[in-house]
Amino acid sequence: MDDLPVDKVLVRRLCDRDESAFALVLDRWSGGMLRLARSYVSTEASAAEVVQETWLAVIEGIDRFEGRSSLRTWVYRILTNTAQRRGSREHQMVPSDELGQPTVDPQRFQSEGQPFPGHWWEPPPVWPEPEGGVLTDEVRGLLVAALEELPERQRVVIALRDAEGWPADEVCELLDITAANQRVLLHRARAFVRAKLETYYTQEETS
Amino acid sequence: MNELECRQFVEQVTAYLERALTPAEEQAFVDHLTECDGCERYLDQVRQTARALDALPTDALSPESRTALLNTFRDRPS
């Protein structure tokens, strides 16, 4: 998906005030940035402001970019810093219970003394495959709502990994978290969203 | 290696997809997968969930902000 010029070329063009290069990154990254900003702030309008503010900082600071990370990581770090500053004003941090808890309801599994302890009572119900990979509006809405319900860190990770397609190591670098931590956050987030889809598809079948 | 239970399997799905299991863990995971339709379906649904998120459309900047940013970029002294 990234057929942008390599960083070196891109950065040189940006420093040379090449407007087409700026338009390229602006159009390529703003959508993902808006989505990520929404993980920190509570309205679309604030997210748009965060993205705007980020790009202004990028224009202001591009000459000082040293290439210690990728350009994308650098831009996104400005975004997360900007969004976090604003986010902490907008809502209180939700305490997260990210570790230790099972991600699937324990009651789905047989307990000790049952014929197969630790195994499914009822396997997960079958889902319909979306036709040609196209989601219905209802499913889209459900996914967006599910993301909103996630704790901030889980939401940021799943947005970057699954919605934006970032590799794990770049997410770790951006958020300054370990690979193991990144995995736990992604796992919990995916399990949560999967469960929402399951509820939706199950209800749809019985209604 | 002990046999994996379904409730353990579901907690290893992401580690499996990220290729972060040890060889022994991965073997136990795959062995379980071949024998358990429920877990095979669970794994598949996690993949399907990730694909669905990938298919979510992204918003775009409003044309006004896009134009404003391009103007700011253009007007910045070098």
Whether the predicted pLDDT of B28 surpasses 70: yes
What is the C-alpha separation between A72 and B11, in angstroms, rounded? 31
Residue B1 lies in a domain: no
Residue reference for tokens 């407007």:
A19
Question: What is the DSSP annotation of chain B?
Answer: -PPPPHHHHHHHHHHHHTT-S-HHHHHHHHHHHHH-HHHHHHHHHHHHHHHHHHTSPPP---HHHHHHHHHHHHHS--
Of the residues B2, B3, B7, the best mutation for testing chain A's interface (the one with the most A CB atoms within 10 Å of its CB) is B7
Contact residues on chain A for B50, CB-CB shorter than 8 A: 161-162, 190
**Which domain, by its residues, includes B24?**
6-75
Mean pLDDT, to the nearest integer, of A110-114? 92
Residue B66 lies in a domain: yes
CATH topology of domain A7-92: Rna Polymerase Sigma Factor; Chain: A (1.10.1740)
pLDDT-derived band at A2, boundaries 50, 70, 90: low
Residue range B32-64, pLDDT digits in tens: 999 999 999 999 999 999 999 999 988 899 999
pLDDT-derived band at A207, boundaries 50, 70, 90: low
Contact residues on chain B for A192, CB-CB shorter than 8 A: none
Contact residues on chain A for B57, CB-CB shorter than 8 A: 140
Which residue from A157, A73, A140 is spatially nearest to B58, judged by alpha carbons?
Answer: A140
> Residue type at A156?
V
Provide the domain count of chain B. 1
Nearest by CB: A59 against B39, B41, B73: B73
Q: How many angstroms away from the CA of A20 is the closest CA of chain B?
A: 9
Query: Is residue A109 classed as helix, strand or coil in its secondary structure?
Result: strand
The β-bridge partners of A109 are A120
Check CB contact under 8 Å for B6 and A16: no
> Residue type at A142?
L
Taking residue A188's Cβ as centre, other Cβ atoms within 10 Å add up to 24
Whether the predicted pLDDT of A183 surpasses 50: yes
Check CB contact under 8 Å for A52 and B6: no
Check CB contact under 8 Å for B5 and A35: no
Residue range A9-60, pLDDT digits in tens: 999 999 999 999 999 999 999 999 999 999 999 899 999 999 999 999 999 9
Contact residues on chain A for B7, CB-CB shorter than 8 A: 102, 104, 106, 108-109, 118-119
Whether the predicted pLDDT of A89 surpasses 70: no
Nearest by CB: A163 against B6, B56, B66: B56
Q: Considering chain A, what percentage of its residues have pLDDT values greater than 70?
A: 91
Check CB contact under 8 Å for B53 and A168: no
What is the C-alpha separation between B71 and A24, in angstroms, rounded? 14
Which residue from A138, A139, A150 is spatially nearest to A187, judged by alpha carbons?
Answer: A150
Q: Which pLDDT value is given to residue A92? A: 47
Whether the predicted pLDDT of A1 surpasses 60: no
Domain A106-206: state its class. Answer: mainly alpha
What is the C-alpha separation between B9 and B21, in angstroms, rounded? 12
- Confidence (pTM): 0.90
> How far does CA A142 lie from the centroid of its chain?
15
Domain ranges of chain A: 7-92, 106-206
Helices A71-90 and A44-61 meet at what angle, rounded to 10?
A: 140
What is the C-alpha separation between A115 and A117, in angstroms, rounded? 6
Cβ neighbors of A201 (< 8 A, separation 6 or more) are A125, A127, A128
Q: Which pLDDT value is given to residue A132? A: 72
